[in-house]
Amino acid sequence: MQNSYKRVDAHLSSLGYCTRSEANKFLKMFSVCVDNERVFDVTKKVYHSQISVDGEILDAPRIVIVMNKPQHVVCSHSDAGVLIYSLLPPRWQRRNPKISTIGRLDSDTTGAILLTDDGALNHKQTSPKSEIIKVYEVTLAQDLRGDEAEVFASGELILNGEKKPLLPAKMEIITPTFVRVEICEGRYHQVKRMFGSVGNRVIALHRVSFGEFSVEGLKPSEFRVVNL
């Protein structure tokens, strides 16, 4: 629920302000108010919209973020390396449920990725039925051979190890080794495997947009909260 009714310590802990066990101390250190009146009782049940901390309203109960993922950052909660969640403010890293990426980008792939703590939304956005448009800028190891756009648009391309053909994809040629590709699926390493199937190799991959959300104006590691 966007405006759930529960204990003050439950609100604070779920949004990463403090743990349940730290709540009493938190209320002494910070001005936590309910309807503009300071409270010290962590068991008091209130609505999310009634609470403020040091004059600021609580973080939203649900959050959706678009980030420009930099290279060599991992979309995982537990793998080795620099994790994408470490780029978020510490309080957001402590939210419960956890913030997770909507889908994944490879460590060496940069660009648009959405993150949310809304599990139902995440499931909906990653479902194959969603057919969300993703746009990539692709740098290739070799010049195009000439028929790639036709092959990708045919709806007949079957990736190695699969049986079901890809949905039609669009390709715009910028230079012989730099193209823009638009897909509406999210199969494993899809863009890299598409070019592998036509005898080429992707040496750099940047996702410009995920659905309606672009990383235009965002530097690597930068993000903004969006409505979805």
The catalytic residue positions are 106
Measuring CA to CA, which residue among 18, 11, 36, 40 is closest to residue 27?
Answer: 40
Greatest Cα pair distance in the chain: 70
19 phi/psi in degrees, rounded to 5: -85, 165
Query: Cα Rg for the chain, rounded, in angstroms?
Result: 22
Q: Please give the Cα distance from 139 to 136 (Å, whole number).
A: 10
Measuring CA to CA, which residue among 149, 134, 141 is closest to residue 196?
Answer: 141
Structure tokens at 71: 């290279």
Measuring CA to CA, which residue among 111, 82, 113, 109 is closest to residue 99?
Answer: 113
